C-alpha cells in the first residue's frame, strides 16, 4: 500500500500578526517624528535670543556671526525646508548639536536617558507586580473589610497626580523622617569602596522617586485585575475547576489570573506613556538627572535640537514597549494573531 506524503502547512497567523504590527507602527512613527519636529517650534520665543541680549552671557556683538549661527541651525529656512533637513539628519542618525549647551545631543541623551529608563523600569515593574498580586488577593476576598480598605485607598491614590505624591514624600522624608536622600541620583563627590557600595547609594537615591511614580501607577492596574477576576469567579469553567478539586493557587493564577492577563498587559502598555511623562515631573521634584531635567532646561532655552531628540527618544521607548506587548499578546492568546 502506497503512502501519500502530505505537507503540513504552518498557520500564517504569526506572520500576519507581525505584518499587521509593522503596518500599524510605521505610520505611527512618522506621525510622532512630525509632531516632535513641530512641537518645539510651536512655543513662543527664539532659541538664539540670548545671542542678541547684551545682558546675556551668550551675547554675540557681531551681526554676521549671529546670522551664521542661525544659518548653521537652519533657522533661516522655511518650516518645510527645516523639516526635510530634519528627516535627512534622522536618516543618518544625527540628532544635532545643542544650541544652549554646545555639545552633541547624542552625548546629552546618553547621560540622562539611562536614569529615566532605570526610574521608569523599576516603577513599572513594581507597580505591575504589586497590583496584579494585590488585585488577585482582593478579588479572592471580595466584600471583606481588607478588600474594601485597599479598594478605597488605591482609588483615592489613583486620583492624586505623581508630582503631588513626590512633593508629599519629599516633605515627609525631609522633615519628619530624614533617612533617605532627597535629591540627585548619587551622593555628590561620593567615593565608593566597592561596586556594591555604589549600587546601594544609587538604590537609596532611587527609593523616593520610584515610590512616587509606583504609587501613581498601581491603582488603575489593581482595580482592573480585581474587577476582571471578580467577574470570572462565577463562570462555568471556574465552577468546573473547583469541582475537580484543583488547588487554590492553581485556581487563582492559572485560571482566573490568566483571564485578567490580556487587559492587564494592555493597561501596562497604556501606562508606559503616563509613566514616562510622569517621570519628567517626579525627576524635577527630586532633581533626578534623567530626561526630565534635560527637557525642562531645554524648554527654558528653546533648545530645539535637544527637545526634538528628547521627545523622539521617549516616544521611541513607549512605542517599543507597546510593540513588544502586542507581540506577547499573540503568544498569550492565539486569537490576537489571527485577528
pTM, 2 dp: 0.81
CA-based nearest residue to 119, from 274, 269, 273, 276: 276
Cell of 325: 506587548
Does the residue 264 lie in any domain? Answer: yes
pLDDT of residue 117: 93
- Inside any domain, residue 8: no
Asked if the structure places residue 7 within a domain, the reply is no
Give the residues of the chain that fall short of pLDDT 70: 1-23, 50-62, 234-239, 241-242, 244-249, 251-257, 330-339
31 CA to centre of own chain: 19
Q: CA–CA separation, 185 vs 290, rounded Å?
A: 9
| Distance from C-alpha of 307 to C-alpha of 91, rounded to nearest angstrom | 18
**What CATH number has the domain bearing residue 196?**
1.10.3720.10
Do 162 and 216 meet the contact criterion of CB atoms below 8 Å apart? yes
Is residue 260 in a domain? yes
249 is a domain residue = yes
* pLDDT score at 43: 81
First and final C-alpha spacing in the chain: 42
Which segments of the chain does DSSP mark as H helices, in order? 13-41, 63-72, 79-91, 105-140, 145-158, 162-171, 195-232, 236-243, 248-249, 257-286, 291-301, 304-332, 334-338
What pLDDT, on a 0 to 100 scale, did the predictor assign at position 336? 52
- Domain presence at residue 4: no
Find the domain containing 287 and state its range. 13-338
Question: For position 76, what pLDDT does the model report?
Answer: 83
Number of domains in the chain: 1
Amino acid at each position: 500500500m502506497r503512502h501519500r506524503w502530505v505537507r503540513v502547512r504552518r498557520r500564517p497567523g504569526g506572520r500576519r500578526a507581525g505584518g499587521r504590527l509593522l503596518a500599524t507602527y510605521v505610520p505611527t512613527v512618522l506621525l510622532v517624528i512630525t509632531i516632535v519636529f513641530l512641537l518645539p517650534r510651536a512655543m513662543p520665543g527664539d532659541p538664539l535670543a540670548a545671542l542678541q541680549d547684551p545682558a546675556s552671557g551668550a551675547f554675540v556683538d557681531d551681526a554676521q556671526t549671529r546670522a551664521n549661527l542661525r544659518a548653521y541651525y537652519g533657522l533661516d529656512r522655511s518650516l518645510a525646508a527645516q523639516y526635510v533637513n530634519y528627516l535627512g539628519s534622522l536618516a543618518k542618525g544625527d540628532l544635532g548639536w545643542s544650541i544652549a549647551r554646545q555639545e552633541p545631543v547624542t552625548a546629552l541623551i546618553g547621560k540622562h536617558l539611562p536614569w529615566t529608563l532605570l526610574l521608569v523600569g523599576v516603577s513599572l515593574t513594581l507597580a505591575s507586580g504589586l497590583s496584579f498580586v494585590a488585585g488577585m488577593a482582593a478579588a479572592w476576598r471580595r466584600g471583606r473589610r481588607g478588600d474594601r480598605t485597599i479598594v478605597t485607598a488605591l482609588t483615592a491614590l489613583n486620583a492624586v497626580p505623581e508630582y503631588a505624591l513626590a512633593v508629599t514624600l519629599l516633605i515627609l522624608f525631609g522633615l519628619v523622617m530624614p533617612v533617605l536622600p532627597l535629591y540627585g541620583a548619587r551622593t555628590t563627590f561620593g567615593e565608593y569602596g566597592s561596586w556594591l557600595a555604589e549600587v546601594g547609594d544609587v538604590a537609596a537615591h532611587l527609593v523616593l522617586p520610584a515610590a512616587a511614580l509606583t504609587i501613581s501607577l498601581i491603582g488603575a492596574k489593581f482595580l482592573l485585575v480585581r474587577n476582571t477576576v471578580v467577574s470570572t469567579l462565577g463562570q462555568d469553567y471556574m465552577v468546573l475547576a473547583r469541582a475537580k478539586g484543583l488547588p487554590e493557587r492553581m485556581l487563582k493564577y492559572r485560571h482566573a489570573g490568566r483571564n485578567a492577563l490580556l487587559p492587564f498587559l494592555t493597561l501596562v502598555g497604556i501606562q508606559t506613556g503616563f509613566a514616562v511623562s510622569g517621570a519628567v515631573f517626579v525627576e524635577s521634584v527630586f532633581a533626578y538627572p534623567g530626561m526630565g531635567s534635560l527637557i525642562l532646561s531645554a524648554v527654558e532655552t528653546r533648545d530645539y535640537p535637544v527637545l526634538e531628540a528628547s521627545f523622539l527618544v521617549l516616544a521611541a521607548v513607549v512605542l517599543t514597549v507597546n510593540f513588544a506587548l502586542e507581540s506577547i499578546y499573540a503568544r498569550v492568546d492565539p486569537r490576537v494573531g489571527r485577528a
